[in-house]
Homo-oligomer: A and B are copies of this chain.
């Protein structure tokens, strides 16, 4: 194993500058934009355009923690790493769900942390946790700040204060093992930073969720993230072979082998623990060779059902491409605003994207085999145009959401997963629940974003005219959709985690005994309950 501690400052070639996100929008403030003219006509037609006033920086509540406690914290990690200015605290307030954005836009920053503390490594994290236990301060681990389920909106009542544990200084590639094809990463590395460091070794993680540009390694692990290339590279929890976790009870170091039978797999208990059991301070992941070739293309299917059946066939015959996703008729129709990209105006049907990454020969072989199957099942090849268009815009949807909010259109996403035989039921019932709750003029789009031998995930995008009380409007729709998922026997979330928003349905999904197990583990690892209170555990 090469011990090659490097950090992104030393890594050339980051694809773009990593800035702080806008506190009231997704992503880089420089990339905020008005609704593109091409979309404006459609939006006008569908919802009407209700231009909102420009955003103002709302006032923050004053820090509600004893200053002497922060002095003690400064002694531990250095004064410059305990920050209380408004701007820093504002940027650590909640995540990026549409309700989060609406609250931030309307001036509600009541969940702001009292301070932001930036540990420099594992030992600092341990020290901060001990301080938090001693003084009963709530601690919210913060990586990329991209939660869309309230994972950063911890409860503060009953605590002496609430601090955001910002992992921004923990951005090293700690080790690379080119023989075992593993790498050990610190949790604060954002997606592009981790890729840039690995690329210096000719390696890639291959994990590209839509939040890739901002989300962090620690967050991927803590939320069981799944990337757009999951068919080829695997979900993040499948990529993890080892973890180091600091908990108030002590450290956990897990991962002595690729797989074993030494009792339950405790890695899978910490993956998905959302900062409620401990703070992940290092993650050892499988890595792959940087692909020589990346090729994306489009396919057209007569119906969502036919496209889904083709995906199932590929998954069950071991022929999955690196990327595979399928839009339903509605989502495809929206894309028809750009007809040149999906094969002409008369195209219709459903658009599938397939992508191949790897060595040229392997890509050629896989592509030929997949093409034969898809053609045999009635798919129409659309060439690389739609694939390239998808790849080019793959991280941009959240920016579009902001532009829609700017003109009074509420846009939000939610997702679930189930077994293949249940997919149609789930699709119909969630779509119907959303449409019924939000009423006429609501647009519900869906795509299959991740596939397995036994089932798939469904990712819904909803757009509707913002009501007088948009938070209540969305909350009712969210409840209806979530109830429909559980009633269908599906999961409340395939890759967005539980946070605070999904807790009632998690409780239904795993049942009372499952909840008791989570509580027992929480009580053991975090007996005074300082870690992300109110998050994850029903």
- Size category of the binding interface on chain A: 35 or more
Contact between chains at B494 and A263 (CB < 8 Å): no
Residues of chain A from 221 to 259 with CB closer than 8 A to chain B in the complex: 223-226, 235, 237, 241, 247, 249-254, 256-259
One of B223, B241, B362, B419 near A257 (C-beta < 8 A): B419
A480 interface residue (CB < 8 Å to B): no
Q: Is the interface of A mostly helix, strand, loop or mixed?
A: mixed
Q: For A225, list chain B residues within 8 Å (CB).
A: 261
Contact B266 A510 (CB under 8 A): yes
CB <8 Å contact, B520 and A251: no
In contact, A254 and B510 (Cβ under 8 angstroms): yes
Residues of B within 8 Å of A497, CB to CB, are: 261-263
Which are the 10 A-B pairs with shortest beta-carbon distances? A268-B268, A520-B524, A257-B417, A258-B452, A180-B419, A224-B261, A179-B421, A260-B491, A257-B491, A265-B268
Contact check, A261 vs B419: say whether CB atoms are below 8 A apart: no
Q: Which of A43-51, A270-278, A438-446 sits within the interface? A: A270-278
Which of chain B's residues have a CB closer than 8 A to the CB of A452? 258-259
- Which of A296-304, A341-349, A381-389, A511-519 contacts its partner? A511-519
Pairwise interchain contact B177-A517, C-beta atoms closer than 8 A: no
Q: Does the CB pair A262–B510 fall under 8 Å?
A: yes
In the complex, what residues of B have CB within 8 A of residue A417's CB? 257-260
Among residues of B, the one whose C-beta sits closest to the C-beta of A247 is B513
Q: In this assembly, does A105 line the interface, its C-beta being within 8 Å of a C-beta of chain B?
A: no
Is A38 positioned at the interface, with any CB of B under 8 Å from its CB?
A: no
Apart from A251-B513, A258-B417: 6 A-B pairs, beta carbons within 8 A: A179-B312, A260-B493, A261-B496, A266-B517, A318-B362, A520-B520
Chain B residues with CB below 8 A from A226, complex form: 259, 261
Chain B residues within 8 Å of A265, by CB: 224, 237, 268-269, 271-272
Question: Which chain B residues lie closer than 8 Å to A516 at the CB level?
Answer: 249, 524
Asked if A530 lies at the interface with its beta carbon under 8 angstroms from chain B, I say: no
Alpha-carbon distance between A518 and B181 when the two chains are bound, in angstroms:
30
Contact A263 B524 (CB under 8 A): no
Asked whether A523 is an interface residue with its Cβ less than 8 Å from the other chain, the reply is yes
A residues adjacent to B (C-beta < 8 A): 1, 177, 179-182, 223-226, 235, 237, 241, 247, 249-254, 256-274, 286, 288, 312, 316-318, 362, 365, 369, 416-422, 450, 452-457, 489-498, 502, 506, 509-514, 516-521, 523-525, 536
**Chain B nearest CB: distance from A219 CB in Å?**
11
Structural contact, B494 and A261, CB atoms closer than 8 A? yes
In the bound complex, do residue B419 and residue A182 qualify as a contact, i.e. CB atoms below 8 Å apart?
yes
With a cutoff of 8 Å between Cβ atoms, the chain B residues found around residue A365 in the complex are 369
Of all chain B residues, which has the CB nearest A495? B261
Tell me whether A180 and B517 are in contact (CB under 8 A): no
**Is the Cβ of B180 less than 8 Å from the Cβ of A421?**
yes
**Distance of A456 Cα from B510 Cα, bound (Å):** 33
Evaluate whether A272 and B268 lie within 8 angstroms (CB atoms) in the complex, with A258-B453, A521-B521 already known.
Answer: no
Give Cα distance in the complex from A274 to B252, angstroms: 22
Say yes or no: B264 contacts A511, CB within 8 Å: no
Distance in Å from the Cβ of A66 to the closest Cβ of chain B?
30
Nearest CB in chain B: distance from A360 CB, A: 13
Known: A249-B513, A250-B513. A273 touches B268 (CB 8 A): no
Closest beta carbon of chain B to A385's beta carbon, Å: 28
